[in-house]
Chains A and B, each alone.
Chain A
Amino acid sequence: MRANTWAGRNKVEVRDVPDPKILNSRDAIVRITSTAICGSDLHLVDGYVPTMQDGDVIGHEFMGEVVEVGPGVGPDKLRVGDRVVVPFPIACGACAACAAELYSCCENSNPNAGIAEKMFGHPVAGIFGYSHLTGGFAGGQAQYARVPFADVNPLRIESDLTDEQVLFLSDILPTGYMGAEMCDIKPSDVVAVWGAGPVGQFAMDSARLLGAAQVIAIDKEPYRLELAERAGHTPVNFEEVDVRSRLLELTGGRGPDKCIDAVGLEATHGSAHVAAYDRIKQAVRSETERPHALRQAIMSCRSGGVVSVIGVYGGLLDKFPAGAWMNRSLTLRTGQCHVQRYMKPLLEHIERGDIDPTRIITHTMSLEEAERGFDIFKNKQDNCEKVVLKP
C-alpha cells in the first residue's frame, strides 16, 4: 500500500510499504477513506518529539471501512463493512486507567512503555503514528491501518454523515472539547483561547457550546482570526496588541476567567529576549519547550481561574510561573485527550447541528500530495487551516 512516512527531520515521503496484517486477536484492518494532518504531526516531523525513525508511517486522525477483523473481536462489536472513526489514543478497555476513562493513559497499549516511563515517570498509551515513545504503531496517513483493541476503540458511524463531518471525532474535535470541558465553564465566563489553529477553533466552539459568555481567540494569522470571528469569537492579534493589556481591557481588568493553551511547545510569540532565551535552551536541549503561550495564559488568567492545556508538550519547560500559579489560586488542568470518552456525545452534537466540524477544512488533497499538504499547513500558506487527505 501507499503511506506517508517520516523521512528525517522536516521531511515526509509517500512510499510503498507492506499492507498491515492482524498481529493481535483483537485487531481490525481498516481501509482508510479520509485522514488528516494534525498540528502535532508538525512537532513529530520537525523532530521536537524524540524517537522517530526513518520509515515510520505517520498520521493519527483517520476513518474508513473495516475490511478484516481478528478472531478476538466479537461480531456484536465490529464487523467487516462497518464504517468507523478511529480515536488516536489506543486503549485496552481493561486497565485501571481505561476503567477511569483516562484512555490516553492506558496502561497496556504501549509496547514501549519502558521508554515512555523514562521520559514521563509513568507510561502513556500507544498512539497511532506518533513516535516510538508512544508505541511505534504505524499511522493512518495510508491506504490501510491496523487498529488494535478494535472491539473497544473505533466509533461506528451508522448515519449518512459525510467523512468531513465526522473525521475530526478522531482527535481535534474531542481535544478542543476536552480543553473547554476542563474549564468548568459557567454562564458568566469569559474564555480566552491561545492558538486559533484547528484545535483552538474547536476549543472556542466548545466553550461557546458549554455556555461561555464570551470567547476570545489569540493568534497572529489574520485568516485564522477571521475564521474565529466568523464563528462569533473575539479576535486578538498578538502581533498588533499587547495580549495581557487587551485581555484586561476586554474583561474589566479581571482577566479571562478561563484560559486554554491550544498552542503547545512551539509557540512563536513572547518578548524578544524570552524568545531568544528559550530558543537557546531548546537548541542545547536543556529545555524541550518554548512555552510562551502557557506563561502568558497563567499571567493573564484571573485569580482563581482555570488554565487548561491541550497544546502538546514533550519534555521539560523553563521559567514556569509557579509563583503566579500558586499565589493566585489558579487551577492547571491538562491531558492528551481521552477521545473515547467524547466520541458518542460529540457525534450527537454534530447530528443535531450544534457544531459544524467542516468549517475549518480549507484543503482536501490526495494522499500522494501529503508532502505539499504538510508544507502549506506548516508554513500557513494559502490560508491553510486544515488539510484532509484522501487515500
Chain B
Amino acid sequence: MTVAAPVETAPPRRAEERRAGPLKRIRRSYDQFWYAWAMCAPVVVILALLVGYPLVLGVMYTFTDATSLNVGHTIGVNHIPDTFSWVGLKTYLDILSGPDNQFWPHFWWTIIWTVSCVTVTVSLGLGLAVLLNRQVRGRAFYRLLLVLPWAVPTFVTIFSWRLMLADDGVLNSLTGAIGLGHISWLSDPFWQKIAAIAVNTWVGVPFMMLSMLGGLQAIPAELYEAAEMDGASAWQRFRHVTLPGLRPVSSTLVLLGIIWTFNQFNVIFLLFGANNSDSVQILVTYSYKLFFGQTPMDYARAATVGVLCLSILVVFTEFYRRWIRRMQGAQA
C-alpha cells in the first residue's frame, strides 16, 4: 500500500524522512509523539486481542477439518481429546468446487443483494436529501419522519415487517384489493429476495439521507447561483454542481453501504429465520448457520466461508479506493 504522495511533489522534509531507516523514523516519531503512542497502546492491545487473535485462529481453522465433534474439550469428568487434522486447502477446494451446491448460490445472491440494496438506498437517500435540502414548509417535521425508521431498534422494525409481509398481512390485503393477487413474500424464493431488499432499503435509507443532506449543505450556494446565471437547467445543476460536490461524501457512503449490506445479518436472519429459507441466506448468515445453527457445528467450513467473505471485502475495498483516488485525481 502506497500511502505517501509522489516524491517529486512532496515537501523536502518528507523526502528527508523517507531516506532515514524505518527504526530511526519510529524513534523520531516516538520522541516527537510519545503521548500519542501511549494513548493508542491500550486500543492497539485490545484490538490485537479481540480482532487479531480470533482472526489468526479462524484462518487456522480453515486449514483443518474441525467440527464440534473433534475439537478437544474437557467437561467435568469427560475429557475428549483433539482429533481433528490438518487438511491443507481441502476445505476451500470443497467449498469452491461446490459438489453440494451450497456456496455459489449463496455467493451470487449475496452479490445481487449487495448491489441492488446499495443502488436503491443510495439513490433514494440522495433523492430525499435533495428534496429536503430546499426551503419547504415543515422541513424539520419531514426530516424527523424520515429518520424514524432508523431510530427504531432494528429488530422491532423487522418483526413489524414480518407481520406486514405475512400471508394474511397488510401488504397482501393491499395487493388483493387492487387486484394483484396474493404474494408469498416470506416463502416464495423470488419474493423472499424482493422482500429482503425492500426491508433493508427501509432500514438503510435514513442514514444515507442524513449523510447526503449533510454533504449537500456543505456545497456553497454561490456555485448554484453562478450556474443559474450561466443558464444551467435544473438537471445540469444537479449533474455538474450537486454530484461533484457530494463526491467526497457519496464515495464513502457507497463503500460503507457495500460493506454493511454485504454483512447485513439482522435483516435476513430476523425476517426469515434460518430453517426453511436457504435460498435467501447471504454468506454471513450461511456461515452462522454452519457454526451455530446445525449439529455438529462445522467450525472449519464456517471459518472458511468467513475468511472468503473477508477476502472478498478486502480485495473490493482496495480496488474501490484506487478507483476513487483515480477519479479524484482526474478531476483535480
Co-assembled chains A and B: no
The interface of chain B, by Cβ under 8 A from chain A, is none
